[in-house]
Amino acid sequence: MTSKKLSIILVSHNSSRLVDHAVAYLDCNSNENVEVIVVNNSPKYPLNELTSKYSNLNVINNTGDPFYTAGNNLGLASTQGEYIFVMNPDVRIKCEDILKLIQFAETKPNLGVVTPRLTNVDGSSQTFAYRFYSWRYPIYRRTPLSNTSFGKAEIDLVHMTNDDLSIPKQVDWILGAAMLIKKSTIEKVGILDPNLRHYLSDMDYCRRVHNAGLEVWINPEVSAVHYYGRSSAQGNWLTAPFKPATILHYTDWIRYIHKWKGTKLPQL
C-alpha cells in the first residue's frame, strides 16, 4: 500500500554535486507526501551528506549492475508513491510543477506516462517528444547524412519538428530525462528493461505502455530545464563511433531491434 503521493528518483554516477543542486531546486523537503530516492551507482563515493541535508531523501547504494537503467529500477522497487517521477540529475524542476503534472495525469484515466516540456537554460525548447523510428534514423543522426535533404526529413519526422507541441497531446514516446509514471502503470507494464543498459529504455518503455493499452502524453504547460549533454555524440563523426558512450548506445540499439523484431509499432 502506497503511503506517499509522489516519489522522485535520481540516479547518481559520481555526480553528487548535480544531485544536490537538483534536489535543492526541487524544494520539496517540507512536503510529507513526497519522498526523494537517490540511487548511488558509485557507492565508493558516499552520499551521506545528502541524507543529513534533506529529511525526505533516502540513498540506495547500487552494488550490482552499475548502469543507468538498473539504477532507476532499483529506485522504482523502493518507491512508496502513487506517482513516480524519474529524472536525470541534470534536470531542474520544482516539486510544485511535478504536482501539476500529477493533477494533469489525474484527468486522464488511461495515461501511463507524461513528460513536461524540456528547455535549454535560455528557455529554448529541446526535443522531448518523438515518433518511433527505423534503423535509418541513428545512421542519419550520427553521420554527414544528417545534412542531406532525406536525412533532415527523417530527423524532423522523428523529432516531430513540424508538429504543434505547444499543447498537451499524445505521442509515440518521450524522453526519460523527466518522466512521470503512475504506480498503476508499473504494476501493469513492469519496470524498465535492464537489458537496455543506458539508452533506449525510455522508447522501449513507452512502446510497452502503448501495448498495454495506456497512453503516452506530453504536457508543455509544465516545463523543466535540462542541462543536456549528449556524450555519445561528442567529437566528429569519424571519432565519435569509437567512444565508449557511442558503443554502449549502438549496443542498446541492437538489443532493442532484436527485442522487437517482427512486431508492429503501436499506432496512436
Closest CA to 102 of 217, 192, 208, 227: 217
Distance CA 61, CA 195 (A): 20
DSSP class per residue in 214-266? -EEEEEEEEEEEE----GGG-S-TTTGGGSHHHHHHHHHHHHHHHHHTT-PPP
Question: Looking at the domain assignment, is residue 267 inside a domain?
Answer: no
Q: Which domain holds residue 193?
A: 4-260
pTM summary value: 0.92
- Cβ proximity of 175 and 199 under 8 Å: no
Whether 23 maps to a domain, the answer reads yes
SS3 133: coil
Q: State how many domains the chain has.
A: 1
Query: Nearest 5°: CA angle at 58, between 21 and 84?
Result: 80
The whole-number pLDDT of residue 243 equals: 67
CATH code for the domain of 175? 3.90.550.10
Residue 190 covered by a domain:
yes
Q: Is residue 268 part of a domain?
A: no
The torsion angle over the Cα atoms of residues 193, 196, 200 and 205, rounded to 10 degrees, is -10
Is 73 among the domain residues? yes
pLDDT of residue 250: 83
Please identify every stretch of the chain with a pLDDT value under 50, giving residue numbers as ranges: 1, 230-234, 237-238
Residue 175 belongs to a domain: yes
The reply to whether 266 falls in a domain is: no
pLDDT tens-digit profile of 52-73?
Answer: 999 999 999 999 888 999 999 9
